[in-house]
Amino acid sequence: MVGLDFLKGFGRDRRRHLTGPDLDTLNLLANVVEGRDPYTAGHTWRVSRYVTTMARHLKWTKERVASIELGALFHDLGKISTEDHILKKSGKLTHDEFEKIKAHPAEGKRLLQGLKFLKPAVAGIYAHHEHYDGSGYPEGVEGEEIPVEGRIIAIADVFDALTSHRPYRQPLKPEGALAYLKGHTRTHFDPKLVVLFSSIWDEGMFKKTVLHSDGAIPLLACPKDGQTIALGEEVSEGDGAFCPVCKTRFILARNKDAWEVKLTG
């Protein structure tokens, strides 16, 4: 369910070198990531919204924003090599199971080695579990030695995990997740970036994104290209929906307890 809006941030030369098979690969990888774990449906989309907003507040170039968006969309790519019984375990992981989970940043980097157009995403993917005090993985680097892409994705990843349903716990309220981030500055997280995330939250810019995590606002996949379609806070059957990639208009319909989109006409 990867969106392709990030392509607008790439320079003309980079867009020209992206082929149809490249874009097919992006969609395939994104769908594989989302499909591996039903409890994290929409997770990569929400993390990408958080990090791109942060990057724009940092006045990054459009191309750099697009690159960190790619990193966010594929930060858990390496988990496709993690066994199902570990990935979907509802209880506490054993030491050996956690060690296998910890391999996913390096595995994600390995999987992308041969894809030149995804090279800008690797830094964020590889470093998003590093901790500011050096206690993270896979390298154990600390402070500003951690690529800034990794430091940003780390904050967005944890915030979304805490505010989302998981098989082993109920979600926290956003205020509780923010308190966790603030309580782990200088140990897990870059303090300046936590301040930035908190200030953006205070401005109300993350409200609609976080509501997608608890089902208050549904996320749907475009039936034509897999693009994530984010709906508004109040939706009703028969309302219109629009895919920004294929430019197709749909109408909302109910299928038992779930929403779906159907072609108009």
Instruction: List the single range of 8-17, 153-162, 185-194 with lowest mean pLDDT.
Output: 8-17
Find the catalytic residue in 8, 79, 173, 182.
Answer: 79
Q: Does residue 30 register a pLDDT over 70?
A: no
pLDDT band, very low/low/confident/very high, at 17 (cuts 50, 70, 90): very low
CA atoms within 13 A on the CB side of 178: 14
The string of pLDDT tens digits covering residues 222-232 is: 676 555 666 66
The H-or-E segment that residue 236 falls in is none
The string of pLDDT tens digits covering residues 101-111 is: 999 999 999 98
Residues contacting residue 213 through CB under 8 Å, at least 6 positions apart: 42, 43, 46, 160, 163, 164, 165, 171
Separation in Å, CA 24 to CA 207, 226, 232:
31, 11, 28
What backbone phi and psi angles, to 5 degrees, belong to 118?
A: -105, 5
Question: Which of 76-80, 116-120, 192-196 is the most confident on average?
Answer: 192-196
**Taking the alpha carbons of 19, 20, 22, 23 in that order, is the dihedral positive or negative?**
positive
Say if CB 213 and CB 230 are below 8 A apart: no
207 is annotated as an active-site residue: no
User: How many other CB atoms sit within 10 Å of the CB of residue 125?
Assistant: 29
pTM: 0.78
Which tokens in the block code for residue 58? 């940092």
Separation in Å, CA 63 to CA 17, 66, 117, 120, 154:
15, 5, 12, 10, 20
Distance CA 132, CA 137 (A): 11
